[in-house]
Amino acid sequence: MAAPPRTTPAQELLDLLGPVEGFHSREEYGDFGLPARVTQEDYLAPFARASRDSHLGPLEKVHAFWFAGMSCDGCTVSVTGATAPSVESLLLATHPGLPQVVLHHPVVNLESGPNYMEAAERALKGELDAPYVIILEGSSTDETLAVPHGGYWSAQGEEPWGEGGEMRTVTIDEWIARLAPGAAAALAIGTCATWGGVPAARGNPTGAMALMDFLGKDYRSTFGLPVVNIPGCAPQGDNFTETVAAILYFLQGFGPLPEFDELGRPAWLFGETVHRTCTRGAYYEEGAFADEFGDPECLVEIGCWGPVVNCNITSRGAIRHVGGCMNTGGACIGCTMPGFPDKFTPFYKRPPGSTMSTLASRTVGALVTPLRRYTTEHLNRTPRWDRQDFVPSGWSREREEPGFIADLGHRFYDALRRSNDTSKSDAVEWGRGPNTIGDD
């Protein structure tokens, strides 16, 4: 096994850039980008602040700095779809038991420019009034490739951190590297930030990598946590807000300690394969597979990797329990996995490993499916129809009434079913009274 590198990409970048000397003064930019004259934090305070005695725990307020690295903003979009809990309930503190989350997010905030960056400066200076977490959407990169040329791959804001206090564009990686040590937690959302994702796929020109790669194995937040990973491309929005909520429930004193797996994923969300809760999973069991796109059966043979992928979208749906890839006909391409995308391509092609297991399930299915169909036919008849040997349906039934052998089989099956039915005991059913019209 190779030894982990001695330094981290985050440290290398900071070594290259040198320490932060100062910050630009408010006078330089005044209200530029601050059309409400207040930041979103201050604007929402009256709506969000809880009254003292309504607290369900010690935390009143948490700052959340959201950074988009090599990102498509899809994780942001997913989170706006979440409802368990919703982003508006977190920001307005309307979810009992949770503190107010003061979100600093470039897609959401009221203020722009230096007035937007001012909160991150306060965090760096240690002047925030509450603990903060950092959230990265999109991959980290290797900015050491671009910095020597005075350039960047991904940046947000300018600070007087250049030579002689000159204004310089600040990269997302630099913000992360500087803010991570003081953060109560570092959360990676989406497959790019958790594992590298598409920006780190074959041909990657920017040195894109996961937040874990960037901060290194030894990273611990001030609360003692390694990087928390919520993967998915895009992730299910509730998976993110629920993880945040679960950590906060615990910190507030009423929730259980949230369990994370060995890659820092919430174990209760990613412990199962997506196949196990797939609405089409039982087709697999019977060896029934979609052949054409759009067919209703199991999708393995049109390229679905569900049986080996850790994800919960088939049980949780994509948004408010609606959708979910395989439920609607979309083959799983493993978008929650560290191997995504290059270990799943070319798409629409059956995973080689499925050949053996589909052969096994086809064999089992050849036996089980006809037996199930036989029993289903029996269950589709009322006991009355059995007795009269006739189904009074006006719909054109092509099925014949069960013959002698089939009937014998059903009687045997019913006998088996009732073999230990305690209702066969001899106790007198005196509550019926003397004149009940009952069945035998």
Query: Binders of another protein among 220-259, rule CB under 8 A?
Result: 233-234, 236
Q: Residue 57 CB, nearest distance to another protein (Å)?
A: 23
Place of tokens 């982990």: 4
Q: Tell me: cis bond preceding 106? Omega within 30 of 0 counts.
A: no
277 binds another protein (CB under 8 A): no
CA distance 415 to 41: 70
Among 10, 75, 186, 215, binds another protein (CB under 8 A): 75
Which of 113, 370 has the CB closer to another protein?
A: 113
Among 78, 310, 336, 354, binds another protein (CB under 8 A): 78
Which of 82, 185 has the CB closer to another protein?
A: 82
Q: Tell me: cis bond preceding 96? Omega within 30 of 0 counts.
A: no
182 binds another protein (CB under 8 A): no
CA distance 242 to 83: 9
Q: Are 33 and 104 in contact (CB under 8 A)?
A: no
Query: Binders of another protein among 394-433, rule CB under 8 A?
Result: none
Among 348, 390, 412, 413, binds another protein (CB under 8 A): 348
Q: Are 152 and 82 in contact (CB under 8 A)?
A: no
- 77: helix, coil or strand? helix
CA distance 13 to 209: 14
Query: Could you tell me which of 177, 164, 167, 168 has the C-alpha nearest to residue 147?
Result: 168
355 binds another protein (CB under 8 A): no
The length of the chain, given as a count of residues:
440
Q: Are 334 and 306 in contact (CB under 8 A)?
A: no
**Looking at 145-153, 371-379, 410-418, 419-427, which segment touches another protein (CB under 8 A)?**
145-153
312 binds another protein (CB under 8 A): no
12 binds another protein (CB under 8 A): no
9 binds another protein (CB under 8 A): no
**Looking at 15-23, 215-223, 289-297, 389-397, which segment touches another protein (CB under 8 A)?**
289-297
**Looking at 8-16, 39-47, 362-370, 430-438, which segment touches another protein (CB under 8 A)?**
39-47
Which of 221, 242 has the CB closer to another protein?
A: 242
Among 14, 124, 263, 319, binds another protein (CB under 8 A): 319
In order of 244, 247, 293, 307, 351, the CA distances from 348 in angstroms are 35, 38, 10, 15, 9
323 binds another protein (CB under 8 A): yes
Among 8, 10, 13, 40, binds another protein (CB under 8 A): 40
Among 16, 47, 387, 411, binds another protein (CB under 8 A): 47
360 binds another protein (CB under 8 A): no
Among 199, 287, 306, 307, binds another protein (CB under 8 A): 199
Q: Are 134 and 177 in contact (CB under 8 A)?
A: no
Among 12, 24, 33, 409, binds another protein (CB under 8 A): 33
Q: Are 66 and 135 in contact (CB under 8 A)?
A: yes
Q: Residue 438 CB, nearest distance to another protein (Å)?
A: 39
CA distance 176 to 154: 12
For residue 278, the surrounding DSSP H or E stretch is none
Q: Residue 83 CB, nearest distance to another protein (Å)?
A: 7
109 binds another protein (CB under 8 A): yes
Q: Are 58 and 199 in contact (CB under 8 A)?
A: no
Which of 182, 317 has the CB closer to another protein?
A: 317
Query: Could you tell me which of 257, 237, 238 has the C-alpha nearest to residue 248?
Result: 257
352 binds another protein (CB under 8 A): no
335 binds another protein (CB under 8 A): yes
Q: Are 361 and 221 in contact (CB under 8 A)?
A: no
Among 145, 263, 368, 391, binds another protein (CB under 8 A): 145
Q: Residue 271 CB, nearest distance to another protein (Å)?
A: 20
Burial string for 356-370 (b: 16+ CB within 10 Å, else e) reads eebeebeeebeeeee
Among 15, 16, 49, 77, binds another protein (CB under 8 A): 77
Q: Are 149 and 142 in contact (CB under 8 A)?
A: no
Q: Residue 100 CB, nearest distance to another protein (Å)?
A: 12
Orientation of helix 74-81 relative to helix 237-251, angle to 10°? 70
151 binds another protein (CB under 8 A): yes
